[in-house]
């Protein structure tokens, strides 16, 4: 089974070359979701106003449509993937990511729905690390730890946005400049993220960053997926396969112990297709610590090369999502802390209504010398790529 998984995803790679949500303005979304892909709008990018921040900054939303009618709506506030409409086995489009209908609801606070997490996606233990002999203290926002960049991470900024050429499909470029000392991190960091909606139904994300001082960086996207459609129920019947023989166990504070543990014989073995809910309630210390899956998997293959990471299948709609990445790891999170809240288009989200596959370097890497390094040197370049590719099986 593993061989078939890798072959299938590798072919895909070659072809590629916590507040409440909900609100008005959902009629257009509802109508669009009922259309088959063949009837969707022409390929291109459409820009619309999305509101203003509390400081009066104007925010836009960009609708990217590919040649097949697949659609991604992305806002330059936090680089959030607001919606992602993909066809099922009958060609019916539906939105497969959780989120909010309006900017105001995002501004009230949300669990990183669809956002760019940075400077450092995931956790840094005790909100501090040492680099070049100096200790850097970060914003504490997750117990005693720092999570997803701190109190005001990259998910809470308005990015500069523009359409850029794409070899196949359409692309949106986002830029952000993070000053030296931002949330405690050293160095001025210049960040570019390009979202490309390709004509083979993939959302490709290319991350690029430079710094004027040695620093650490770990960028990711925090989309919550439900391939049956956002707000349609829990995700426990989704079949998941992860190309990883090891994972990084954590302590009670969700900080990696530093070990690389085999998944064999544990509830973390997704080397063959397995329902998310099959073992999630097992009597396992790691699952108790995370209230379910919220762990980093050590991906097989060579980091730095675009390679198969994950395959997810939803049986009722036939939708399939394949994840390819250049990163060494991926965080598998299943919305264990989602509470009952309004979602998009009048839907309600509950616990485990969405899952995340956040491609990344490992959590707490700045404090774990045996983990792949997240240090970005002065005048060096940070470059990673992740692809979420969608299809449907009969």
Q: How far apart are CA 153 and CA 170, in angstroms?
A: 27
Answer whether 204's CB lies under 8 Å from 166's CB: no
Region 81-98: mean pLDDT is 98
Q: Note the pLDDT tens digit of each residue in 33-60.
A: 444 444 445 899 999 999 999 999 999 9
SS3 string, 314-364, reads: CCCCCEEEEEEECCCEEEEECCCCCCCEECHHHCEECCCCCEEEEEECCCC
How far lies 206's CA from each of 16, 212, 255, 333, in Å?
13, 21, 27, 22
Q: Note the pLDDT tens digit of each residue in 239-281.
A: 999 999 999 999 999 999 999 999 999 999 999 999 999 999 9
Return the active site residues.
222, 358
- Domain parsing of the chain, residue ranges: 2-392
Q: Note the pLDDT tens digit of each residue in 129-179.
A: 999 999 999 999 999 999 999 999 999 999 999 999 999 999 999 999 999
Answer whether 35's CB lies under 8 Å from 94's CB: no
Q: Note the pLDDT tens digit of each residue in 172-215.
A: 999 999 999 999 999 999 999 999 999 999 999 999 999 999 99
pLDDT confidence of residue 33: 45
Q: Note the pLDDT tens digit of each residue in 30-39.
A: 334 444 444 4
Neighbouring residues of 229: CB distance < 8 A, sequence distance ≥ 6: 33, 94, 95, 96, 317
Helices (H) and strands (E) in the chain, counts: 4, 29
Q: Note the pLDDT tens digit of each residue in 279-291.
A: 999 999 999 999 9
Q: Note the pLDDT tens digit of each residue in 102-112.
A: 999 999 999 99
Answer whether 24's CB lies under 8 Å from 102's CB: yes
pLDDT confidence of residue 12: 44
| Pairwise pLDDT comparison (378 vs 23), residue with the higher score | 378
| CA angle (308, 314, 320) in 5-degree steps | 35
Region 3-29: mean pLDDT is 44
Q: How far apart are CA 181 and CA 74, in angstroms?
A: 28
pTM above 0.85, yes or no: yes
Nearest alpha-carbon partner for 232 in 61, 347, 333: 347
pLDDT confidence of residue 42: 85
Q: What is the fold, at CATH topology level, of the domain defined by 2-392?
A: Beta-galactosidase; Chain A, domain 5 (2.70.98)
pLDDT confidence of residue 290: 97
Q: Which of 3-17, 205-219, 266-280, 355-369 has the lowest mean pLDDT?
A: 3-17
């Amino acid at each position: 089974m593993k061989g078939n998984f890798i072959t299938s995803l590798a072919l895909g790679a070659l072809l590629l070359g916590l507040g409440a949500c909900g609100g008005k303005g959902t009629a257009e979304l509802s109508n669009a979701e009922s259309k088959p892909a063949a009837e969707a709008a022409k390929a291109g990018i459409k820009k619309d106003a999305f509101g203003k921040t509390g400081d009066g900054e104007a925010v836009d939303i960009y609708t990217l449509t590919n040649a097949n009618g697949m659609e991604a709506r992305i806002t330059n506030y936090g680089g959030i993937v607001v919606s992602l409409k993909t066809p099922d086995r009958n060609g019916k489009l539906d939105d497969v990511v959780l989120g909010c209908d309006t900017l105001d609801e995002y501004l009230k606070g949300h669990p990183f729905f669809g956002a760019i997490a940075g400077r450092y996606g995931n956790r840094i233990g005790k909100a501090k690390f040492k680099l070049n002999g100096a200790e850097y203290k970060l914003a504490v926002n997750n117990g005693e730890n720092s999570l997803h960049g701190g109190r005001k991470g990259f998910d809470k900024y308005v990015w500069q946005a523009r359409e850029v050429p794409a070899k196949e499909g359409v692309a949106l470029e986002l830029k952000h400049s993070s000053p030296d000392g931002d949330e405690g991190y050293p160095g001025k960091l210049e960040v570019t993220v390009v979202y490309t909606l390709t004509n083979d139904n993939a959302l490709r994300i290319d991350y690029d960053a430079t710094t004027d001082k040695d620093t650490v960086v770990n960028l990711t996207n925090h989309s919550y997926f439900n391939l049956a459609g956002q707000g349609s129920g829990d995700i426990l019947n989704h079949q998941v396969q992860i190309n990883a023989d090891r994972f990084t166990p954590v302590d009670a504070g969700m900080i990696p112990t530093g070990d690389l543990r085999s998944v064999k014989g544990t509830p973390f073995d997704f080397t063959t297709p397995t329902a998310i809910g099959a073992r999630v309630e097992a009597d396992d210390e790691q699952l108790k610590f995370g209230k379910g899956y919220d762990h980093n998997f050590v991906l097989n293959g060579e980091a730095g090369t675009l390679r198969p990471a994950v395959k997810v299948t939803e049986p009722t709609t036939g939708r399939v999502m394949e994840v390819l990445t250049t990163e060494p790891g991926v965080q598998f999170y299943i919305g264990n802390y989602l509470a009952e809240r309004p979602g998009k288009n009048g839907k309600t989200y509950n616990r485990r209504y969405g899952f995340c596959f956040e491609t990344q370097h490992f959590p707490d890497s700045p404090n774990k010398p045996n983990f792949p390094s997240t240090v970005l040197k002065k005048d060096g370049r940070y470059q990673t790529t992740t692809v979420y590719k969608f299809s449907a099986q009969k």
